[in-house]
Amino acid sequence: MSDTLILASVFVAVLLVAFTTISIIANRREMKRNIDELGADRIRRNVDEELALSSDNDDIRHYYEVQAKGDPNSLAMRLIRAGYFSREAIRVFVLIRVLVTILVFVAVWFALVNVGSGVSGPLALLLAAAVAGISFILVNAVLDNMGKSNQIRYRRLFPDFMDLLIVCVDSGMSIEAAIDRVAREFLPTRPGFGRHLSIISLEIRAGRPLHEALNNFSQRLNLEEARTLAVLFRQSQELGTSVVKTLRVFSAEMRQMRLIKAEEKANALPVKMLFPMALFLFPVNLVIVLVPVMIALLKMFTTMSPGGG
């Protein structure tokens, strides 16, 4: 019996040692793999950041070509505002717009000819062409809506951009180095906004004045805050005032304006709620008030007996 216990103890001990060794080796391999993946991801992120901050980026070169034409309402600039910097974005958008128009035309014509009764061929073609034209316009409206959505998103990110810029300038960086550093911070988390900031950095490196680079930035984002910041930097450079003080005053005013706009929306909310409440609640209240009266009147009329002559 003792020999059996000894053998069982030895077996359990060997099993525990083997399991512990295998676990340690597996954990070390997992740790090494995670470290390698983290290093590769960091290298890939650095490469992406350097490519985004480099003039060799084909998307940024395409933006410079679009900007050189000087048409802020062109299709290429509208696509850039929507977040599409690629050269192929124009071709893809035109192809999608044409395909949507053709599909809508064919679908409406087929429905009118095969489903609709009493619709002649020329009238069906005319109606299908009208609906296809409306769909052609709606595709452009969708693109403009995407640009407006990015505009709202960038307006929410702008105070964070100002805070990071102030922190970098307070730490002793120049305004150009601060913009470059903030662009690198935004690229991994907010690639769209970081790309716009990287274009500012590239324009400053190329020798363009800061206020002009910020003015182009405001045209790309269509933000009044960025346009005001460009004007403030130009005045600061012309008058020789402190850039840090300018940034602090502008940041405080911008946050105050955000509070004012929030209060304005909050004050306008009761007026906006008046029409839905009148549309949905007033008929219900009217029914609640009138139905008992109508029931009482009906009962009274049904129980009344005609008078004797």
DSSP state of 39: H
Q: Are residues 159 and 238 in the same domain?
A: yes
Question: At 6, is the pLDDT very low, low, confident or very high (cuts 50, 70, 90)?
Answer: low
At residue 125's C-alpha, the angle toward residues 119 and 126, to 5°, is 95
Q: Classify each residue of 95-113 as buried b or exposed e, where b means 16 or more C-beta atoms within 10 Å of its C-beta.
A: eebeebbeebbeebbeebe
pLDDT tens profile 93-122: 889 989 988 998 888 888 877 776 666 777
Whole-number pLDDT of residue 273: 82
Last-in-domain residue among 103, 127, 151: 151
- Note whether 144 and 200 are same-domain residues: no
List, for residues 130-162, the tens digit of each pLDDT value. Answer: 888 898 889 888 888 888 888 888 888 888 888
- Residue 308 scores a pLDDT above 70: no
CA distances from 212 to 198, 208, 246 (A): 15, 7, 17
Q: Of the residues 151, 168, 198, which one is the last residue of a structural domain?
A: 151
Q: Is residue 291 part of a domain?
A: no
Among 49, 88, 79, 85, smallest CA distance to 189 is for 49
CA distance 206 to 49: 18
What gap in Å lies between CA 265 and CA 274, rounded to an integer? Answer: 14
Mean confidence (pLDDT) of the chain: 78
Q: Can you give the residue range of the structural domain that contains 85?
A: 42-151
* pTM exceeds 0.85, yes or no: no
Grade residue 50 by pLDDT with cuts at 50, 70 and 90: very low
What is the number of domains present in the chain? 2
Question: What three-state secondary structure class fits 309?
Answer: coil
d(CA 213, CA 217): 6
